[in-house]
Amino acid sequence: MDIDYKIRNIKIYKKYLIIKTMENKITKQKLGKYFKTTEKALKKAKKKVNSKREKEAEEIIDMVEDYLSDAHHFEQKQDLINAFAAINYAHGWLDTGARLGIFDVKDDKLFVVK
């Protein structure tokens, strides 16, 4: 193998690694998308509470709001990793409520539904 061939392969591999690394980064834009999705799901869930499970819904909504608040706090401190984690915990609570029938939602773009 000649040296030019090796250098070209290294450059291609290096470019590939940079692209893959960028795909796996938590950016302000990605965070904004997740905030928007979770806040939209929360709004919908609040309107679709199963009347027989109001206490459970209230507990879940409180947890979601707390985690969203935490996520905003972390975002303001430029701690995007913990902000992203908190948003995902918040949305996980919403998915749990949807899956257990605490929220009568059918939107499979916002929730994990049966």
CATH code for the part of the protein at 26-99: 1.20.1270.90
Mean predicted confidence (pLDDT) in 52-76: 98
Identify the band that residue 4 occupies on the pLDDT scale cut at 50, 70 and 90: low
Asked if 91 and 36 touch (Cβ cutoff 8 Å), the reply is no
Please, what is the average pLDDT of the chain? 87
Instruction: Give pLDDT tens digits for 70-89.
Output: 999 999 999 999 999 999 99
Percentage with pLDDT > 90 across the chain? 75
pTM listed for this prediction: 0.79
Q: How far apart are CA 85 and CA 28, in angstroms?
A: 14
For the chain, the structural domain boundaries read: 26-99
- Give me the residue label for tokens 């913990």: 82
Please, is 66 exposed, middle or buried when counting C-beta atoms within 10 Å of its C-beta (0-12, 13-18, 19+)? middle
- Phi, psi torsion values for 49, nearest 5 degrees: -75, 130
The contacts of residue 36 (CB under 8 Å, 6+ apart) are: none
